Structure 1
Amino acid sequence: MHWKFSEEQDAYRETLRGWLGDVAGSDQVRAWLGLDPAGPGRPAADPTEFEDRWVADGLCGVGFPEELGGQGGGVVELAITAEELARVAAPSAAWLATTLAMPALETRPDLAKAALEGSHAAVAIAAESLPAAPGHVTADADGALTGVVPRVLGADRAGLLVVPAGGASGPRLYAVDTAQPGVEITPRRLLDRSRSVADVRLSGVVGQPLDVDAATVLSATTDLAGVLLGADALGAMERMLELAVDYSAQRQQFGVPIGSFQAVKHAAATILVDVEAGRSGLYYAAASVAERHAESSLHSAAVKAQVTAAAGRAADSALTMHGAIGYTWEHDLHLFFKRARLDEQLFGSVEDWNERISSGLTLA
């Protein structure tokens, strides 16, 4: 099946790709990520300039309804955004974390608008865990939140945390201002510098209860995470294929380009098949999640598991096709290699998402 975008979606994709081409060239991305072209970078990554430009140009609101401060569109547009951001290895922790927090903020337009206008938000869930299964924070009878959540995606970029917390009346979601007393954010460095995580410590912090069903929202957040991480992996995989094909046409062995060797052709063809198959499945899943199809959770889990696994295989193949230069920091391949590898593990491993599929299937 070949997925076909609407005219509006094609126009958005073209516009976004052009914008990123103007704003997020390789040298600029490396500067934001704190990378020295001559070797491993010493400075900490600082994506603030990119995030500010992203918000100022209205791109943070694409995919969200106008009543929440968005520009319209839905999950398909969000998937397009994730894919295009990954194609240039642009910093995306703030955007992705804010996007995943939005289902919890649907009843609080004030908080949603503030997040989309640059304060950013993050869901206080460990980066390696499925959003549907948090469990690090507890709320006492007065609603004071206590606990430590390790490795929260984008917490270092966020002015607002959506905190799932267990209590006597069951799990609830709370909105917490990161600037208030009792909130401690400790950034951690990842190998993939295009994303960031931080440990979150809450010490008796009083949050604002959100008037939503926690289980329903976290399930929706999980479905959205599966689609967007699949899209991110797809974008990284597509770019790794382009880099590998370009390099195989330039590098010569035995007097001929290595791209003429059958093994190299087969490796590139395998990645291409995975890219095209992944794209069709991914955007079907995005539409399914947008329409809240009865099996949307299965569709989302399938693309998270399959597309991120395919991107991991593509990363290895692209590295092999590049040979020694693929291991160096001076070549851009490592940006996409690390991005694809993180997508495999972010919000749950391939095995975790396959388990989500098997748990959702009804056996005859």
Structure 2
Amino acid sequence: MQWKFSEEQEAYREALRGWLGDVAGSEQVRGWLGVDGGTPDPGPFEQRLVADGMAGVGIDEELGGQGGGPVELAITAEELARAAAPGSAWLATVLAVPALAGRADLATAALEGGHAALVVAAESQPDGPTTVVVDDAGRLSGAVPRVLGADRAALLVVPATGPHGLGLYAIAAAADGVALTPHRLLDRSRSVADVRLDGVAGELLDVDPGAVLAHVADLAGVLVAADALGAMERMLELAVEYSGQRHQFGVPIGSFQAVKHAAATILVDVEAGRSGVYYAAASVAGGDAERALHAAAVKAQVGAAAGRAADDALTMHGAIGYTWEHDLHLYFKRARLDEQLFGAAAAWNERIADRLALV
């Protein structure tokens, strides 16, 4: 099956890719990520994304977005990865917004540059168990390691259990009792922070926490797969370009059968991944009964394919691919993080098995 965008979606993809080409070239991205020895600072890109109206695409207008849904969000994720652009603040915010359905003011503030983060460990599925507890007075305590984008967020959305079961709570990242410990990742285009809460007053959000977290898990699976797809596509482009430039035995290495086969394998994975990702995105958007299976399948399969593509692209580049001077390492590291972000392939395959009526 080959996925086809609507005219509006294709126009958005072209506009976003052109915009990223203008504002997020290799030199700018390297500066934001601190690759060439500077201090990492994704702030300028995050501000530009908001100011130029891209950050709210895929979010309901009632929540301060530009309209659209999971398909448009997947387009954004893919294109951000193709540019190796900083992605933590954007992804963390769009995953936190569904919990703010009854608080348009908070959602709008997050989308307009305040940013938000769902307080779950970056290596865990968003609807997994929580380690945060809430007491009778609505005060939250607990610690969650490695929360994606928590260092970029003004608002934290925290799943917590208490006397009345599971709830989702909104707290200010700067509130008394909140401690954030940022960590630098090998993939400099994303960041995480440990979140520790010590008796922090939280606002219980008027949503069904189980339904919201299940939706966010599906959305996370689709968007991380879309990110892996974008990184994989760019690695293929770089590898094909380099294989036409590098010569051995007097001919381009791209003429060697082994190199051709490696490139063809990546291309097959890219095309299959694109159809799967956007089918899953449309399934989540439409509330399909099997949307959780579709999201889990693309997270597991596209993430694993991107990991294989990273290895093959590195092999095709040879020694230059190991250097920080070449851009390949930006995509290699991004693809490797996507394999583990919000759960490795094995965890998502288990999710599929749990939902299939095998017996």
Fold-level similarity (TM above 0.5): yes
Residue 146 of structure 1 aligns to a residue in which SS?
A: strand
Question: Structure 1 residue 48: deviation in Å?
Answer: 0.4
Question: Structure 1 residue 35: deviation in Å?
Answer: 1.1
2:329 aligned to 320, 328, 334, which one? 334
Q: What amino acid is the match of 1:11? A: A
Tell me, in whole angstroms, the C-alpha distance in 1 between the residues paired with 2:185 and 2:355. Answer: 32
Deviations 1:132-191 (A, max 9, x none): 103121001111000111000000000000000011211100001011111111100100
Gapped runs of 5+ residues in structure 1?
Answer: none
Residue 161 of structure 1 aligns to a residue in which SS?
A: strand
Question: Structure 1 residue 214: deviation in Å?
Answer: 1.0
User: Where does residue 186 of structure 2 map in the other structure?
Assistant: 191
Equivalent residue runs for 1:7-18 within 5 Å? 7-18=7-18
Equivalent residue runs for 1:206-355 within 5 Å? 206-355=201-350
Tell me, in whole angstroms, the C-alpha distance in 2 between the residues paired with 1:137 and 1:65. Answer: 29
Equivalent residue runs for 1:116-195 within 5 Å? 116-195=111-190
User: Where does residue 4 of structure 1 map in the other structure?
Assistant: 4
Residue 308 of structure 2 aligns to a residue in which SS?
A: helix
Q: What amino acid is the match of 2:23? A: V
Tell me, in whole angstroms, the C-alpha distance in 1 between the residues paired with 2:86 and 2:226. Answer: 15
Q: What amino acid is the match of 2:7? A: E
Structure 1: 4+ residue segments shifted above 2 A: none
Question: Structure 1 residue 28: deviation in Å?
Answer: 0.3
Tell me, in whole angstroms, the C-alpha distance in 2 between the residues paired with 1:185 and 1:155. Answer: 8
User: Where does residue 23 of structure 2 map in the other structure?
Assistant: 23
Q: What amino acid is the match of 2:307? A: G
Asked whether the 8 Å contact 1:223–1:296 carries over to 2, the reply is: yes
User: Where does residue 57 of structure 1 map in the other structure?
Assistant: 52
Question: Is structure 2 residue 40 aligned with structure 1 residue 81?
Answer: no
Question: Structure 1 residue 44: deviation in Å?
Answer: 3.5
Size of the alignment, in residue pairs?
359
Asked whether the 8 Å contact 1:100–1:225 carries over to 2, the reply is: yes
User: Where does residue 34 of structure 1 map in the other structure?
Assistant: 34
Tell me, in whole angstroms, the C-alpha distance in 2 between the residues paired with 1:225 and 1:92. Answer: 13
Deviations 1:240-291 (A, max 9, x none): 0000000000000100000000000000000000000000011000000001
Question: Structure 1 residue 305: deviation in Å?
Answer: 0.2
Tell me, in whole angstroms, the C-alpha distance in 1 between the residues paired with 2:106 and 2:52. Answer: 20
User: Where does residue 42 of structure 2 map in the other structure?
Assistant: 47
User: Where does residue 358 of structure 2 map in the other structure?
Assistant: 363
User: Where does residue 110 of structure 1 map in the other structure?
Assistant: 105
Asked whether the 8 Å contact 1:125–1:134 carries over to 2, the reply is: no
Tell me, in whole angstroms, the C-alpha distance in 2 between the residues paired with 1:287 and 1:47. Answer: 30
Residue 15 of structure 2 aligns to a residue in which SS?
A: helix
Residue 171 of structure 1 aligns to a residue in which SS?
A: strand
Asked whether the 8 Å contact 1:121–1:159 carries over to 2, the reply is: yes
Residue 227 of structure 2 aligns to a residue in which SS?
A: helix
Tell me, in whole angstroms, the C-alpha distance in 2 between the residues paired with 1:134 and 1:322. Answer: 42
Tell me, in whole angstroms, the C-alpha distance in 1 between the residues paired with 2:310 and 2:174. Answer: 39
Residue 186 of structure 1 aligns to a residue in which SS?
A: strand
Gapped runs of 5+ residues in structure 2?
Answer: none
Tell me, in whole angstroms, the C-alpha distance in 2 between the residues paired with 1:313 and 1:4. Answer: 26
Question: Is structure 2 residue 201 aligned with structure 1 residue 201?
Answer: no
Question: Structure 1 residue 102: deviation in Å?
Answer: 1.1
Tell me, in whole angstroms, the C-alpha distance in 1 between the residues paired with 2:174 and 2:231. Answer: 34
Residue 61 of structure 1 aligns to a residue in which SS?
A: coil
Tell me, in whole angstroms, the C-alpha distance in 2 between the residues paired with 1:353 and 1:337. Answer: 22
Residue 198 of structure 1 aligns to a residue in which SS?
A: strand
Residue 174 of structure 1 aligns to a residue in which SS?
A: strand
Asked whether the 8 Å contact 1:136–1:149 carries over to 2, the reply is: yes
Question: Structure 1 residue 107: deviation in Å?
Answer: 1.1
Residue 60 of structure 1 aligns to a residue in which SS?
A: coil
Residue 47 of structure 2 aligns to a residue in which SS?
A: helix
Tell me, in whole angstroms, the C-alpha distance in 2 between the residues paired with 1:59 and 1:10. Answer: 15
Residue 362 of structure 1 aligns to a residue in which SS?
A: coil
Tell me, in whole angstroms, the C-alpha distance in 2 between the residues paired with 1:44 and 1:218. Answer: 35
Asked whether the 8 Å contact 1:160–1:178 carries over to 2, the reply is: yes
Q: What amino acid is the match of 1:99? A: V
